[in-house]
Amino acid sequence: MTLAANIRIGLGHDTHRLVPGGPLRLGGVEIPFDRHLDGHSDADVLLHAITDALLGAVGAGDIGELFPNTAEENRGRDSTDFIVEANNVVTQRGFEIVNLDCIVFAEQPKLSGVKLRIASHIARLLNLSGDRVNVKAKTGEGLGTIGTMQVIEAQAIVLLAKRELIS
């Protein structure tokens, strides 16, 4: 088999508005904060970016196609469902995650104290060892929609390999 048939890369990005009232949910972890993210589902911006990275890597479209934000069944839905389902698609197509790297762009709250907990929670959701998932946090330096706390954004990039290549 060619290398191209054995490895894949996927990229995801998402943005959600911050609105009053906590707690904040990021990567499936509840973080004490006086604002939360607004959206049709639970608006977990990090899980949405990861879901899109996984789907993109196997050419399976995007989160909006699988889980439309017009569908009543997705209202308030736990985004854990999305990432688990995207991982199922990856598995069904014979691939496994090599590693996943993420960035959360948030002016506040400071995520340095929770990013390891978020990474290990995501690793558990994806049945991965903790060293395969990395979560980084950046602020907006007080500028733009991130820096003025109008939004939180997230990016994710994932590398997949055919299952038989990973030992």
Site residues (vs Mg ion, CB under 5 A): 14, 48
User: Whole-angstrom Cα distance, residue 88 to residue 82?
Assistant: 10
* Closest to Mg ion by CB, 17 or 138: 17
Contacts of 59 (CB under 8 A, 6+ apart): none
CB 62 within 8 A of CB 56: yes
Q: Nearest Cα to 28, choosing from 91, 132, 102?
A: 102
Of all residues in this chain, which one has the CB nearest to Mg ion in the complex? 48
CB of 151 to Mg ion, least distance (A): 11
CB 115 within 8 A of CB 133: no
Name the residue type at position 91.
Answer: T
CB of 39 to Mg ion, least distance (A): 6
* Closest to Mg ion by CB, 6 or 80: 80
CB of 55 to Mg ion, least distance (A): 13
* Closest to Mg ion by CB, 96 or 158: 158
* Closest to Mg ion by CB, 12 or 140: 12
Residue 149: DSSP 8-state: T
User: Whole-angstrom Cα distance, residue 160 to residue 4?
Assistant: 11
* Closest to Mg ion by CB, 67 or 95: 67
Contacts of 150 (CB under 8 A, 6+ apart): 17, 18
The phi and psi torsions of 150 (rounded to 5 degrees) equal: -85, -30
CB of 48 to Mg ion, least distance (A): 4
CB of 26 to Mg ion, least distance (A): 12
